Amino acid sequence: MQIKADFINPFLEAATIVFRDVLQSDLIRGKIGIKDSPAPSHELAIIVGVIGSFSGEVVYSMNYDTAYKISGRLVPGMSLSDIKNEYKDMMGEIANMTTGNAMNIFTSAGQSIEITTPNIVEARSTTIKFNNKPTLQINLYSKFGRVEVNVAIA
């Protein structure tokens, strides 16, 4: 398996920055594993494509409860009913901030890549097909819940 830390760490660092600065929550790295595909394990997936010096996908995955808690932090006082109707937009904002930070980290390291606009997908109601490729899975924990990060970049 040829997934290097140089490919993974910017995405983890970017997520850590967003959780710390925007959500006022620390992210703690948990278990790391190897999978055959970047397919998400949870109900909600944020899919980011990577093209350039290396290519592949990064898939952030979480359950609805985690997404609702994060969304509630972004818009305090919003009712749970409203959060359930608007959480995709709020998760899109978190994903855009994370992607922007990752781009800055890659650029600072002199790596030329393009990152696609994050795609928010409800994995239960949508069929997502990924090609089988070696994937590093990292679990990140916060006070909002667990976020799985699947990195399949070569």
Q: What is the pLDDT of residues 70-97, one digit of tens each?
A: 999 999 999 999 999 999 999 989 988 9
The DSSP code for 66 is H
Tokens in use for 51? 């093209």
36, 132 Cβ separation under 8 angstroms: yes
Tell me how far CA of residue 33 lies from CA of 63, 93, 148, in angstroms. 19, 28, 11
* Alpha carbon distance, N-terminus to C-terminus of the chain: 9
What are the structural domains, with CATH classification, of the chain? Answer: 5-153 (3.40.1550.10)
Per residue in 118-153, pLDDT (tens digit) is 899 997 777 788 888 889 999 999 999 999 999 887
